[in-house]
Amino acid sequence: MKIKIGKTQYTLSRVPSLEPPIARGRVNYTTRTIQIAERSGRPLRKRSPRSKKHTLWHELVHAMLKDMGSTKERDEVFVDELAKRIVQVNKQVEPYIDRS
């Protein structure tokens, strides 16, 4: 899947796992890719859809902040807290948006 953030188009992909195994997701600004791991941890364990959704938003927030030129792009705590809130709000508005 492709997603555009600002003027940059990223390719989203699900991968079996990432290195190191504890990594759940990764954004690569050079290759313009965002990867979400299906399994993570030691030992590798299958991740829940909720966990993968959070990771996707976490990596998207990184890319959005990078596009904005924000110094917050490297602040993992800020990025993670913002991603949590986006997932929370998105869950609440999905029924509203999905109405016919």
Over the stretch 27-51, which tens digit does the pLDDT of each residue have? 999 999 999 999 999 999 999 999 9
What does the block give as tokens for 14? 């699900």
pTM, whole model, 2 decimals? 0.92
pLDDT for 95 beyond 90: no
Q: Please give the Cα distance from 70 to 45 (Å, whole number).
A: 34
pLDDT for 21 beyond 70: yes
Q: Identify the band that residue 97 occupies on the pLDDT scale cut at 50, 70 and 90.
A: confident
Q: Please give the Cα distance from 41 to 98 (Å, whole number).
A: 34
Q: Identify the band that residue 100 occupies on the pLDDT scale cut at 50, 70 and 90.
A: low
Q: Please give the Cα distance from 23 to 75 (Å, whole number).
A: 16
Q: Please give the Cα distance from 2 to 33 (Å, whole number).
A: 9
CATH of the domain at 87: 1.10.10
User: Domain tally for the chain?
Assistant: 1
**Per-residue pLDDT at 96:** 86
The parent domain of residue 20 ranges over 2-98
